[in-house]
Copies of this chain bind each other. A is one copy, B any other.
Amino acid sequence: MSRLDSFIRRLSAQRACLDRAAGLIGDIDGPVLELGLGNGRTYDHLRHILPGREIFVFERQVAAHPDCIPDDDHLILGDLACTLPAAMARIGRPAALAHADIGSGDIEATARNAARVAAVLPDLLAPGAVVAADQPLSDPRLIALALPDDVQPGRYHLYRRVAGEAA
């Protein structure tokens, strides 16, 4: 498999998981959280498939396509380590969906990011909220969901925020 093949598979898996997650939150109120804007492709996808939802974006340094940058009220600038724990003050209510695309070539930074997100993100989520992530997230409040058929296990991840405080 070439790098072009695996890149197409990764993006297709990502899209399939976002579409699935959007379909699972029909009964759950709340905004959407996008962790990592990057060039804004998945942010744009989320606003296409969830046109009625408010979307808050977390990003350290904005470098997205100009059409894919949220307004200031929906852009939470800074490192996730600082912004995520304090985010409820900005978003105001528990979120229905979160997407975390936080991996990079730096394996240690990616692992730190994933550990941080797993520990703090559940506090920002409504019971039954869904998380799609490029990294595995390990926390007792997040239960792994089955992936869409065409997504190979491990390529992307889906979780449901359990109803109680912890399992």
Contacts and interface: CB of A to CB of B under 8 A. Distances in A.
A2 interface: yes
Contact of A11 (B11, B39, B47): B11
Nearest to A15: B4
Contacts of A42: 4
Interface of A: 1-5, 7-8, 11-12, 14-15, 18, 39-42, 44-45, 47-49, 65, 67-68
A3 B5 CA distance: 19
Contact of A45 (B5, B11, B18, B41): B5
Contacts of A44: 2-4
A11 B7 contact: yes
Overall SS of chain A's interface: helix
A20 to B, nearest CB: 14
B3 A68 contact: yes
A68 B11 CA distance: 20
A74 to B, nearest CB: 17
